[in-house]
Structure 1
Amino acid sequence: MRKLLLVISLLFCLAIAGKAQYYLRGEIRDEKGNEISNVKTFLFSRGYIGFLSSSFGIPSRLSIDTITLIAEGYETLKSPVQTNKFQKLVMKMQQATARLTQQHLSSVTKNLKTNRQTIFPQEGESYTNLVENNFVSTLQAPETGFALHVDRAAYSNIRRFLTNDNPAPPDAVRIEEMLNYFNFTLPAVDEDDEEAPARGFTCATQLTTTPWNKENQLLFVNLKAPKLNLAGLPPSNLVFLIDVSGSMDKPNRLPLIQSAFKLLVENLRAIDTVSIVVYGGDIGVKLAPTSGADKQKINDAIDLLVPNGDTPGAGAIKLAYTKAEQSFNSKGNNRVIMATDGDFNVGETSEKALEDLITKEKMSGIYLTCLGVGMGNYKDSKLEMLAKRGNGNFAYLDNINEAEKVLITEFTKTLYAVASDAFVNITFNPKMVKEYRLIGFDNKLDALSDSTSELEGGEVGSGHSMVAVFEIVPQISNKTLTNNDTLIAGRYGSIKLHYKLPSEKKEKIVQQFTIPINYVPIEQADETIRFATSVAMFGELLKQSRFVKDYTWDNAKLLAQQAGKKKLSPLQTEYLGLLDKAKKIYAPAKKKKKNGSEED
């Protein structure tokens, strides 16, 4: 009997121990330390648990259990865990996911280390912290590269600051976008060449004097995309994603966007479809897919929009892509057009969270165009990032004229891509080029500090003409180049252009060009070269760059005026006015005291 009681007591103790509860706490991150959410989880002692967030706490029946984690884009993790200790679980990205989440560069020079520089924050508005490109030794790093894109938001945003008698934040000044704004085309590229689309991109280069350093040279590289035949444009499946939150309740925000979209509607055809998704107090579909022929119905839906509530941007982006996928046209132009001040304040609001979201969405084959508006709380950095990671483009609308330029005058450049993931590699000849500096295409501070960063290609619209400018420290003087015909047969380097057709996801096209020695003094250079030089220097002065200490606003204006022997266009005339405004803001005239001395 005593033996039986002992056995019963032992079994009772074991049963209690079997029901004993432990509590497993921990966190789930990737190899870079970023949090991972929505992780499907199993415990050996309990089976399927459900989906965990990055930080978790779950009961367990064992002091040492086994956890299994499954998440999209990551390798499955199965690991023993001590349930009485906090667990730091690290999931390894699959190779394809790792590529998508890499920091992306606007330009790159191989084997080059970059130092951190000063960050210039702008109160109320957010801009990406940029590091200006420095001179690079050709012997140490002969190859460099930059991304192609049609973004031109920086120029109209700068115009907004100057028009309001305010200096532009240095990080708001992206010189490549300022040059993009004017769509410069060098003379060697024939605008009316009907065979250009069959050949792909055309390329022209020009060497001239650097106005702020007569010993140096400027190299202009002009890449022009082929034009689509307007009569044969593919059907468009467009989703207007419109911010109607309370922050949009100002004349230069929602009303401007409504007017802009109504201009766009006038260009739509019966084969095009439009859906409207809005986000403000809530997220919703205001217009189901509607033919472009039914312009009144589309415009009525636009007119009914009223600003109200918070800004749940992330959820709205997901819904817009869902609507675009439901109407997806495999032979058409599928695009979300997002219009906002970028001030997301509900849901996923950090740039990193939004970046991860848009990176996944772009794999659907849907392009993204971002239209920024507003001032004071305008989030330039978020919209720029969304456009670039969403395989799209970015513009800033400061007035209705800019809306007409972006959505009517440059309709095909904005909405119809002819190339994606486009970037350029340039290899300089060390016998001709001692050092070089890429003007513009400055990189984000955090991307430069990430050793896994890679060059990110961009989207190029139909017929877009992009100009990049290098400052060159030559091995042979400008005077020698001018007077020595035997050097003309030489080469400054070579250009390799990489891109994909919008319909192709994997196959890359490579075009190669050479950089001839075609030096011309700036005084004799083509008008386009002189005006583009002035615009580049306008940007350098706005950034207060250390490279142009002896160059003035008057120098930039004189160069632009000399380039206008023919009648100036309205854009060029406006540009001269902006130079005058900038001079008053950045270099105000000194007042004379009664005794003849000067004071600020």
Structure 2
Amino acid sequence: MTDELEALRKALKAAPPAADPARREAALAAAMAAFDAHRAQAGQETAGAARPMSDRPQRAGFLIGVRAMLERVSFRPALAATASVAALAVGFGIVMTRPPELRPGPAPEAVTARDEAPLPPAPDLTDRRAATPEARSDAPPATAAPEPPAAATDEAPAWADAAPPAPPAPPPAKMAADAGAERGRSAGTAVPDALAAAPAGTVAGLAEADAPARTQDATAMEAAPAPAAMPAVVAAPGDVTAPPQPDTEAFPEAEANPVRIVAEEPVSTFSIDVDTASYAVVRSSLMAGVLPPPDAVRIEEMVNYFPYAYPAPEAGEAPFRPTVSVVPTPWNEGTRLVHIGIQGRMPAVADRPPLNLVFLIDTSGSMEDPNKLPLLIQSFRLMLGELRPEDQVAIVTYAGSAGLVLEPTPAADRARIEAALGSLHAGGSTAGQAGLEQAYAVAAGMAAEGEVTRVILATDGDFNVGPSDPEALKDFIAREREGGIYLSVLGFGRGNLDEATMQALAQNGNGTAAYIDTLSEAQKVMVDQLTGALFPIADDVKIQMEFNPAVIAEYRLIGFETRALAREDFNNDRVDAGEIGAGVTMTAIYEVTPLGSPAVLSDSLRYRAAEPAAQDAAAARAGELGFLKLRYKEPGEAASRLIELPVAADPQPATEDVRFAAAIAGFGQLLTGGKYLGDWGWDEAIALANGARGADPYGYRAEAVQLMRLAESLSRR
């Protein structure tokens, strides 16, 4: 035991080896030269600049963190200070064993956060010797520092709180000074003066003196004022940082449909729309804790997100059946809602034609987020289970340049298709036009008579159309559409979502646009509603509603702003319109104001009167609120067909489907300002939707009620 103590005493008496100034200077010079060379080489790299994104993930991982930690550790200062650590531990242990009443020095005073020492300015990096231990060895003794903070008690010295947190115990002063100097040189931060000015011989003095001398030295240390609180050391960013990531989302811009006077504009014409992207974007925003941008809210897409049980067409009838209901308006007693529901025919699976699919996948650098390319791959894997053995799949990617990842492959070879999907990774810039051209070329080679051929574009929406005019790109897609190859668009992720372009491409490609933010949404779009999304039963479907001026004074179409058509476009078969897929439902809602209602917003004209013949014709049909006409084309045909039916003026009881659709229409209007809702608010919308959920096997309607409640809370901010 005596020998061990003697060895410990000798170790404590031994002073740490002094650093060689010349070798330290040479090492610093070599490090700076290597650093400058690295910077010069980095500046000459030809890699493209980082792409702006709003939700770029931080790379993390246990092994990455361990490697980064080891790269920053300098073992030489730690070895040099090993003896100092043991000596300081013994010295401070002697100090702490003294009774509190025998400790001299001023009593601690309460200090608020604003009394703490401010962060010192960063040192001039051109004089790096100022932060070295050699430069500090000639520094004058430390001057009196501010009083210790209130957190320092007799049981816990002030310096314990002043030191930066390093669990499980604060480091000794000498090691903290050395480590702080190393961090200051690498991160550009200042080293606290209180640590830089500590006398170099303090540790040796504690080891050489006998017990009385150690007691005297310890007393002198305690008598000195406590050092100032050590500021937090914040590492400066590295040389290579991600650029600012602005929100570059774009949505279709269109003014809400105004109230129109029947005597002046009795006819309303628009193309059907069965897209659902807007509802998913609204949900994504609300789940992120923010209200969606008004331009992101398209009420018709919110209403059509939900399936409805409308009457289906009978055998031998048109491929879809319209149903019209006139019901009271929930938010205005003086108006009525004209609810138009369309149900498409669902063919038997055995009658379904073979399917040729080309997955056009964006693999640019912005797709690396978990809710982009990884979710996209999972979504397409779900879809594979719904394909039949005779269906074919090809995969084209675009990132910098387009490439064929998978040649046309039978769906029965699922392992090969999944392997191709698993090989995808994000990287490079976006070259969407080249990808579209190659995808259509591959699809043309797969197409055959009587088969359905479709390109499915999957992207985060940051779609770079390249050097060509976007209008020329739309014309290209329209030409391919005439050849029987349709285009659907799937959006993933947020931050750079260009939904305006996505919707325009889908409209010109006779396809649909959907946004996928979760795997549950992928299940809905890629599995539950796959047949309706991929197999059209009617093309270029247009709706025209003529209102009877003898019954209706005003009307407004709720939604469909981006689908408006001119009156003469209805009979023009060369004008493109939306399609209806197998088993798909579509809903459109008008709010109409009966003649003489106190809810009429416009005054009648003083000098204008309807022609007598027109007045007589309108009065003769006083039992009709209006007349509905629909035009459509059978897939592959060039001539359209016409469906007509009168709309009775008498209101009918509203079914659950009609009431729920009205609630969602109110939901969308509340998100965009609720100009025509009066005092009708969130409570009424929630109650209406909750009471009309009906059969909800997938929980879509229950989720909508929860989103309404969330939107109500967010609107109170």
Q: Same fold (TM over 0.5)?
A: yes
The secondary structure found in structure 2 opposite 1:550 is coil
Note if 1:570 corresponds to 2:699.
yes
CA contact (8 A) 1:205 1:222 kept: yes
1:207-246 correspondence to structure 2 within 5 Å: 207-246=326-365
Deviation at 1:534, TM superposition (A): 0.6
Q: Does 1:158 align with 2:282?
A: yes
| 1:541 paired to 2:679 | no
Runs of 4+ displaced beyond 4 Å: 453-456, 476-479, 565-569
Question: Is 2:689 the counterpart of 1:560?
Answer: yes
CA 358–396 in structure 1, closer or farther in 2 if over 3 Å, else same = same
- Residue 464 (1) aligns with residue 617 (2): no
Counterparts of 1:485-500 in structure 2, within 5 Å, are 490-500=623-633
One-letter amino acid matched to 1:529: V
**2: distance between equivalents of 1:320 and 1:129?**
29
CA distance in 2 between partners of 1:463 and 1:566 (Å):
18
Contact in 2 for aligned 1:129/1:444 (Cα 8 Å):
no
Report the TM-score, using the length of structure 1 for normalisation: 0.71
Distance 2:665 2:556 in 1: 13
Q: Per-residue deviation at 1:346?
A: 6.5
> Residue 566 and residue 181 in structure 1: after superposition, are their counterparts in 2 closer, same or farther (change >3 A)?
closer
Aligned amino acid, residue 490 of structure 1: G
Counterparts of 1:80-91 in structure 2, within 5 Å, are none
Cα pair distance change 1:161/1:353, threshold 3 Å: farther
Aligned CA distance change for structure 1 residues 304 and 566 (closer, same or farther; 3 Å): closer
| Structure 2 CA distance for partners of 1:336 and 1:158, relative to 1, 3 Å | same
State the secondary structure of the residue aligned to 2:475: helix
CA contact (8 A) 1:419 1:461 kept: yes
Code of the residue aligned with 1:502 in structure 2: it is P
1:261 aligns to what? 380
Greater mean deviation of Cα atoms: 360-369 or 465-474: 360-369
Q: Secondary structure at the match of 2:328?
A: strand
| Count of paired positions | 448
Change (3 A) 1:336 1:218: same
- Structure 1 counterpart of 2:658, from 507, 510, 529: 529
Higher relative contact order structure (alpha carbons within 8 Å, sequence separation ≥ 6): 1
Q: Does the aligned pair in 2 maintain the 1:132–1:443 contact within 8 Å?
A: no
2:562 aligned residue: 443
Find the partner of 1:512 among 641, 644, 669: 644
Matches of 2:541 and 2:524, distance apart in 1: 24
Label 1:170 to 1:567 Cα distance change in 2 as closer, same or farther (>3 A): closer
Call closer, same or farther: CA 1:262–1:478 in 2, change over 3 Å.
farther
**Deviation readout 1:398-454 (Å, 9 max, x if unpaired):** 111111101111111111111111111111111111110000001389x99xx9x99
Deviation at 1:511, TM superposition (A): 1.2
Report the Cα offset of residue 517 of structure 1. Answer: 2.7
Q: State the superposition RMSD in angstroms.
A: 2.6
Tell me, in whole angstroms, the C-alpha distance in 2 between the residues paired with 1:420 and 1:194. Answer: 19
The residue that corresponds to 2:420 in the other structure is 301
Q: Kindly tell me: are residues 351 and 540 of structure 1, through their superposed partners in 2, closer, same or farther at Cα, counting changes over 3 Å? A: farther
SS at match of 2:466: coil
- Separation in 2, partners of 1:134, 1:182: 25
CA positional deviation for 1:460: 1.0
Offset from partner CA, 1:221-242 (integer Å, 9 cap, x none): 1122222222210001110000
Q: Which residue of 2 aligns with 1:329?
A: 448
Distance 1:558-1:349 versus aligned 2 partners, 3 A rule: farther
SS at match of 1:338: strand
Task: Report the alpha carbon displacement of residue 477 of structure 1 after superposing the two structures with TM.
Answer: 5.5
User: SS of the counterpart of 1:127?
Assistant: coil
Question: Contact 2:546/2:628 (CA < 8 Å) preserved in 1?
Answer: yes
Distance 2:450 2:500 in 1: 32
Q: Report the AA paired with residue 250 of structure 2.
A: S
- Deviation per CA, 1:248-283, whole angstroms, max 9, x where unpaired? 000100011101111111111121111110011321
Q: Which of 250, 255, 260 is the aligned partner of 1:136?
A: 260
The answer to whether the 8 A contact 2:273-2:560 is kept is no
Alignment match, 1:81:
none
> Which residue of 1 is the match for residue 85 of structure 2?
none
Secondary structure, aligned partner of 1:181: coil
Counterpart contact for 1:488–1:517, Cα < 8 Å: no
CA distance in 1, matches of 2:422, 2:664: 38
Q: Which amino acid aligns with 1:578?
A: L
Match of 1:475 in 2: 595
Aligned with 1:364 (options 449, 464, 483) = 483
Secondary structure of the residue aligned to 2:449 is coil
Q: Structure 1 residue 392: deviation in Å?
A: 1.0
2:248 corresponds to which letter in structure 1?
G
Give ranges in structure 1 of 5+ residues lacking alignment.
Answer: 1-121, 480-486, 589-600
What is the CA distance between 1:124 and its match in structure 2? 1.5
Q: What's the secondary structure of 2:628's corresponding residue?
A: strand
Which is strand-richer, 1 or 2?
1
Q: What does residue 515 of structure 2 align with?
A: 396
Residue identity matched to 1:288: E
Q: CA deviation at 1:168?
A: 0.7
% same residue = 37
Between stretches 350-359 and 425-434, larger displacement belongs to 350-359
C-alpha separation in 1, matches of 2:635 and 2:512: 14
Residue 325 of structure 2: aligned partner: 206
